[in-house]
Structure 1
Amino acid sequence: MTRLTETIFATCSALLLSAAALQAQQSWVQVEAQPTLADAEGRARSYAEAFPNVAGFRLGTSWYAVVVGPYADDSAAASELSAFRRQGLVPSDAYVTDGERFGRRFFPVGAAPIAPVSEEAVDDAVEEATGTEPAAEPEAEAPEETVAEARASERRLNGEERRLLQEALKWQGHYDGAIDGAVGPNTRRAMSSWQRAEGRPDTGVLTSAQRTELVGTFREDLSRIGMAQIVDDKAGIEIIMPAGLVEFEEVNPPFVHYGSTGDSGVRVLLISQSGDEGTLFGLYDIMQTLEIVPQDGPRERSRTSFTLEGANEELESYTYAALSGGAVKGFTLIWPPEDADAMDRIRQTMRESFTPVSGVILPDTAGEAGGMDQASDLLSGLEVRRPARSRTGFFVGDDGAVLTTLDAVENCERISLGTSADATITARDTALGLALLAPETRLAPIRTAALEAEVPRLGSEVAVAGFSYEDILDAPVMTFGTLSDVRGLGGEEALRRLDMETLPGDSGGPVLDQRGAVVGMLLPASDDADRRLPTDVSLAAGADALAAFLGENGITVESAGNGPALAAEDLTARAADMTTLVSCWN
């Protein structure tokens, strides 16, 4: 041994012995001893949530102590131990120790040592003696537990820790059982599922390190999201919601709006209104017209509740509403698609915690009327989904089959009849621009069209029933004019020329004579940029061409018989019974 080495050894030994001596002069409460470092670290972290002064030391060569302290003397430590036992915070076999057997400290990681002489002081002595900085020691990795060791450490978990483990597994989507603290088959399957998802060996028993990782991630998520019990005394709803991601914005009946905080992109609506089953069903239909409820997604409705799920490239949402004591109450959660996994767990928590408060309902006049946006494309502060275009069609079959123009429904992601019934194209006539639609759910129209079998008289008065203003009005508008020719401008026998001024929304509407018989179907204005008709000239497909097209596709339409001319109001009522709005959605 060289003189330099002897100097270093002597200096370090003196410092370490001094540290051990000072540490041994203090008193501690030893709460547990674990056979592995991983077990001891896990238990130390658990105790650190209850005590501010938890430490961990190695005992000899194979055990690790979890302790609380230090205290000035044994009396102070014993007093604290008694208090801990009365509160049930430590095991019954915890005891006071002088720390004489304590070796190297492993917890808290990176904390300053308790004794006044630190390892840094030892390093400084080495540097002073040698003139060089000592090489950093590589961090020792905690050895992986065997399954038997993992089971042993699991058995030492108390009920609260086992429930926390189940909550963490449930949060990450692996456990769907009760939070009861019983580690049974369901919990074992959840552990296996978590291990597979994380690329770990599938043993069905989490090691101490895996439990620490799982619970740590769970707590980090909850901290970021800020799940909290909210009691909204305006809506009369108690619910656990992501309070860290949303904040109260406004009241706009029947909703209480909670907008996004920062750039979270998360929103919550609390739903509260007085009503019955009819109100519930009406809300079910209305919610599906809003942009916050994308069209793609499952829908479920019973007599007392409904759920709506929707997803598109911009957002996803989940809505739940139910009847409760003469009121309809519920909530909508909206989130960005990239947060789908976390939001799926949040919506489950919100659904399970949702509790209506009896007797508290959002009044229809809540909020400031002067501050409400009264635009027709907004509903209670929410943007209403609008179709790409809306045109007109009329019923030609008792099952709800509808005839309209191909222009109205070509290249649509979704086609709807009226306000909500979806339909598909079953036949086309590209030459005349006709389309036959079938509703996805059978409809029962009040009236179906009766086609005029004879060629109508030139100059006779006719009317078109059409949704001139597309989806703005609920009923068709009657536009009156005259039949100016039984052929098209180029002599086409399948066309009829009308002397009337129509709007794009009217196309596809039935052309009626004064008896209510259908003599044709209005076609859209030509999009030929080089040749435009006068605004008071319209073209229609004749009744004979319509009958031929329908017959080719298995539909026989009733022929109109003789009858008297109808009064204008009766003609309007007959037209409304057979006419429907046809909308194209993209």
Structure 2
Amino acid sequence: MAGSLAAQDGQVWIQVEMLPTLGRAQLSAEGYSEQIPDDVGGFYMGSGWYAVTLGPYTSEEARAVRDNLIAEGVIPSDSVISDGAQFQQQFWPVASAGATVGASSENVTAADPVATEPPEPETFIPDETPQEAQASEAALSLGEKQQLQAALKWAGVYEGGIDGAFGPGTRAAMAAWQSQNGQNATGVLTARQRSELLGGFNAILDGLGMETVRDETAGIEIELPMGLLQQPVYEPPFARFDPQQEGGPQVLLISQPGDQNRLYGLYEIMQTLEIVPPEGARERGESAFVIEGQDAGIHSTTYAWLVDGQIKGFTLVWPAGDEDRRSRLVETMRASFRRLPGVLDPAASDPGEDQAVDLVSGLQVRKPRATATGFYVDAQGTVVTTAEAVGQCQEITLDEATTARVAVIDERLNLAVLQPQAELAPRAVASFLPGAPRIGAEVAVAGFPYGGALAQPALTFGTLADIRGLNGEDQVRRLDIATQAGDAGGPVLNEDGSVVGMLLPRESGAQVLPDNVSYALDAETIQSILAQAGVAPTTSQPVGIKAPEQLIRDAAGLTVLVSCW
């Protein structure tokens, strides 16, 4: 045995870790190599176990090095000194794969052209007995087991669910795959067989530059297509890997402290981002969520899990039309996902000069196609707005939070009645003025002239110029007021806060009104449409003139931002 020869030579090793899979042992060795470049080795120990080592040293050197590295926190405190008697094939460094302990390299010189450009070595994967295969299989993570089932399905031998549970169906599929590939059909794949199966399964990912990324800052380890991605930019709660080329894929690693409330908040925030299109399945549980988003340009997938007060996960944004590679990559990322100690510090990011209200951690917030104003007309959250604002929308939201549907639309009057798809409890509802308002009375229009940039509606003051339009139209009121396009659909309030109408767009068809001239659909017409829709409008009672501050407070509860997506 190689280890026995080493022991006779008086050499010993510091054994820092024992790991049950080759992949994990290689990652561990790579990690130690970054801190101790020249001393790290790795050896197969038999029975499906792999040792990560430092050395070789003399016994005296090994004790001194071990004590110093433990004191510095570089290696675990339970690291032991080994004579290498159990070491078999060497798997690390990779260039030494298949070599024995203590193999000489004295015949290789700098002048040797073969030595300067060695052939790419093959990673050593040992044969395993059925018992060793069972032991190494038991050490696989749930994601790795699910990936094996996905690979068996791809190979055409498995039809069951991808649940990571190796029941009779999975065992039969493993045996069938072994038979097809000239192996003994035991129903338990050895490490070498698993590698062969997954190698074929993941061949579609060739050319993506797949690498295992160990991000100590985010506390995540995962396989990523680094051949297509830039190095990460940290803007909590994301480590953002932007595309190398415009239109290429993008990856987010999610990392933040939190509880269930923060998990639920992240679930809502993710769906406001441009990289998460609104169409797609969503599922949220008590400690995890998954979001799919797909449109003509991209397909994004987000997973997030809450474990021990830390929320971690990832998002893959992939160009549309490449579903085979995208789905395979998502499976690979999920199977390889590992939680490391630590999370991104929410306070660590410098806001910088390029921050903007429509950005979240450097990511563009999804913007509606258009916005308008509406106002609540009953306690169930029914909203009145313009037909023009909602006529061509795929989705309508109220205050960018609640989805609504069009219950009634009258294009001739430019009026739409919206009903929320979830329960709402408005702070205030419209009280309509009975009869006609007084010409020359002061009025105010509540609206969102800047879309969602302001959290509260703005109030614009003017006067009622006439109770008819310029051409004598008796269903509109003419206002002397300077409004903006986003105000359309907002309530026109009388001096006592009662609603005298709904502001109409200033440009309608071929008619363009002069500056400071606006029309409002009158209260009587609005109430008639509401009654036909089964909504009972409220009529105001005389309360006297209100101060502007009180009108502003009333308008804040009554007025709603209507977004068309």
Q: Which residue of 1 aligns with 2:442?
A: 461
| Residue number in structure 2 paired with 1:572 | 552
Render the CA deviation track for 1:107-156: whole Å, top value 9, x for unaligned: xxxxxxxxxxxxxxxxxxxxxxxxxxxxxxxxxxxxxxxxxxxxxxxx99
Aligned to 1:238: 221
Question: How far apart are the structure 2 equivalents of 1:447 and 1:178?
Answer: 50
Residue among 293, 309, 314 paired with 2:276: 293
| Equivalent runs, 1:380-391 vs 2, <5 Å | 380-391=361-372
Taking the aligned partners of 1:448 and 1:508, their CA distance within structure 2 comes to 15
2:417 pairs with 1:436: yes
Q: What does residue 513 of structure 2 align with?
A: 533
Matched, 1:502 2:477: no
Cross-structure match for 2:376:
395
Paired residues of 2:375 and 2:429 also in contact (CA < 8 A): yes
Is the 1:246–1:266 Cα contact (8 Å) retained in structure 2?
A: yes
Residue 185 (1) aligns with residue 159 (2): no
Match for 2:345 among 342, 351, 363?
A: 363
The AA in structure 2 aligned to 1:206 is Q
Please tell me whether the aligned partners of residues 267 and 335 of structure 1 are also in contact (alpha carbons under 8 angstroms).
Answer: yes
**1: CA distance between counterparts of 2:548 and 2:148?**
74
**Alpha-carbon spacing, 1:451–1:272, altered in 2? closer, same or farther (3 Å):** same
TM-superposed CA distance for 1:460, in Å, is 0.8
Work out the CA distance in 1 between the residues paired with 2:233 and 2:155: 32
Per the alignment, residue 534 of structure 2 pairs with 554
Are 1:250 and 1:367, in contact at CA under 8 Å, matched by a contact in 2? no
Q: Which runs of 5+ in 2 are unaligned?
A: 1-86, 91-128, 138-144, 184-192
1:555 match: secondary structure: coil
In structure 2, the partner of 1:142 is none
Contact 1:245 1:264 (C-alpha < 8 Å) held by counterparts: no
One-letter amino acid of the structure 1 residue matched with residue 249 of structure 2: V
State the alpha-carbon separation in 2 of the partners of residues 289 and 388 from structure 1: 14
Residue equivalent to 2:392: 411
Q: How many residues align?
A: 423
Instruction: Measure the CA separation in 1 of the matches of 2:531 and 2:230.
Output: 60
> Is residue 462–residue 511 contact of structure 1 (8 Å, CA) maintained in 2?
yes
Partner of 1:206: 180
CA distance in 2, matches of 1:346, 1:172: 17
| Cα drift, residue 186 of structure 1 | 2.9
Q: Look up the SS of the partner of 1:281 in the other structure.
A: helix
Q: Distance in 2 between matches of 1:490 and 1:457?
A: 19
**SS of equivalent residue, structure 2 residue 469:** coil
Q: What is the one-letter code of the residue matched to 1:340?
A: E
Q: Secondary structure at the match of 1:338?
A: coil
Instruction: Name the residue aligned to 1:279.
Output: 262
Aligned partner of 1:542: which letter? D
Distance in 1, Cα, partners of 2:284 & 2:428: 29
What per-residue deviation string (whole Å, max 9, x for no partner) do you get for residues 495-515 of structure 1?
101110000000000011122
Percentage of pairs with the same residue: 43
| 1:28-51 superposed Cα distances (whole Å, 9 cap, x missing partner) | xxxxxxxxxxxxxxxxxxxxxxxx
- 236-245 or 564-573, which deviates more: 236-245
Q: What are the Cα deviations for residues 355-412 of structure 1, in whole angstroms up to 9, with x where unaligned? A: 4334x22123435544x62244332221221111100001112222111000111111
C-alpha distance in structure 2 between counterparts of 1:403 and 1:500, whole Å: 21
The 5 Å alignment of 1:15-414 reads 159=133, 168-169=151-152, 176=161, 184-188=168-172, 206=180, 208=182, 217-218=200-201, 220-221=203-204, 223-261=206-244, 265-358=248-341, 360-370=342-352, 373-414=354-395
**1:188–1:205 contact (8 Å) kept in structure 2:** no
CA distance in 2, matches of 1:156, 1:565: 89
Q: 1:293 to 1:550 in 2, by over 3 A?
A: same
Is the Cα–Cα contact under 8 Å of residues 202 and 328 in structure 2 kept in the other structure?
Answer: no
TM score, norm. by length of structure 1:
0.65
Deviation at 1:270, TM superposition (A): 1.0
Q: State the Cα distance separating 1:303 from its structure 2 match.
A: 4.1
Q: 1:300: Cα distance to partner?
A: 2.1
* Aligned CA distance change for structure 1 residues 190 and 243 (closer, same or farther; 3 Å): farther
Which amino acid in the other structure matches residue 582 of structure 1?
V
Aligned counterparts of 2:359 and 2:539: Cα–Cα separation in 1: 44
Residues 400, 439 of structure 1: 8 Å contact kept: yes
Structure-2 change in CA distance of 1:451 and 1:254 (3 Å): same
1:489 corresponding residue in structure 2: 470
Distance, in Å, in 1 between the alignment partners of 2:551 and 2:410 is 29
Corresponding letter in the other structure for 1:217: G
8 Å Cα contact 1:240/1:350 also seen in 2: yes
**Contact 1:256–1:269 (CA under 8 A) maintained in structure 2:** yes
Quote the Cα distance in structure 2 between the aligned partners of 1:477 and 1:454.
26
Pairwise CA distance, 1:289: 1.4
Q: Does 1:542 align with 2:516?
A: no
Q: Partners in 2 of 1:321 and 1:366 — Cα distance?
A: 21
- 1:471 equivalent to 2:452? Answer yes
Structure 1 residue 554: deviation in Å?
0.8
Matched residue SS, 1:344: helix
Helix, strand or coil at the partner of 1:436: strand
Q: CA deviation at 1:582?
A: 0.4
Amino acid at match of 2:544: P
| Deviation by residue 1:154-193 (Cα, 9 ceiling, x = unmatched) | x99994999997573256795655779x79423546899x
SS in 2 for 1:431: coil
Q: Displacement of 1:569 after TM fit?
A: 1.6
Distance 1:433 1:231, change over 3 A: same
The aligned amino acid for 1:486 is I
Q: Deviations over 1:201-223 (max 9, x none)?
A: xxx963559x9996653253355
1:305/1:87 CA distance change after superposition, 3 Å: closer
Distance in 2 (CA, whole Å) between partners of 1:486 and 1:477 is: 24
Aligned to 2:507, the other structure's residue is in SS state coil
SS in 2 for 1:345: helix
In 2: Cα distance, 1:516 partner to 1:232 partner = 58
Change (3 A) 1:572 1:191: farther
Contact 2:273-2:366 within 8 A present in 1 as well? yes
How has the CA–CA distance of structure 1 residues 205 and 443 changed in structure 2, closer, same or farther, with 3 Å as cutoff? Answer: farther
String of CA shifts for 1:38-88, please: whole Å, max 9, x gaps: xxxxxxxxxxxxxxxxxxxxxxxxxxxxxxxxxxxxxxxxxxxxxxx9879
In 2: Cα distance, 1:546 partner to 1:515 partner: 19
In structure 2, relative to structure 1, the CA distance for the partners of 1:253 and 1:171 (3 Å cut) is farther
Structure 1 489/523 Cα, relative in aligned 2: closer, same or farther at 3 Å? Answer: same
- Which structure has the bigger radius of gyration? 1
Deviations for 1:5-28, whole angstroms, at most 9, x for unmatched residues?
A: xxxxxxxxxxxxxxxxxxxxxxxx
Asked if 2 retains the 8 angstrom alpha-carbon contact of 1:393 and 1:402, the reply is yes
SS at match of 2:412: coil
State the TM-score, normalized to the length of structure 2: 0.67
The alpha-carbon distance between structure 1 residues 425 and 183, as it changes in their structure 2 partners (threshold 3 A), is closer
- Could you tell me which runs of 5 or more consecutive residues in structure 1 were left unpaired when the two chains were aligned: 1-84, 89-154, 195-203
Query: CA contact under 8 A between 1:171 and 1:345: conserved in structure 2?
Result: no
8 Å CA contact retained: 2:149, 2:170: no
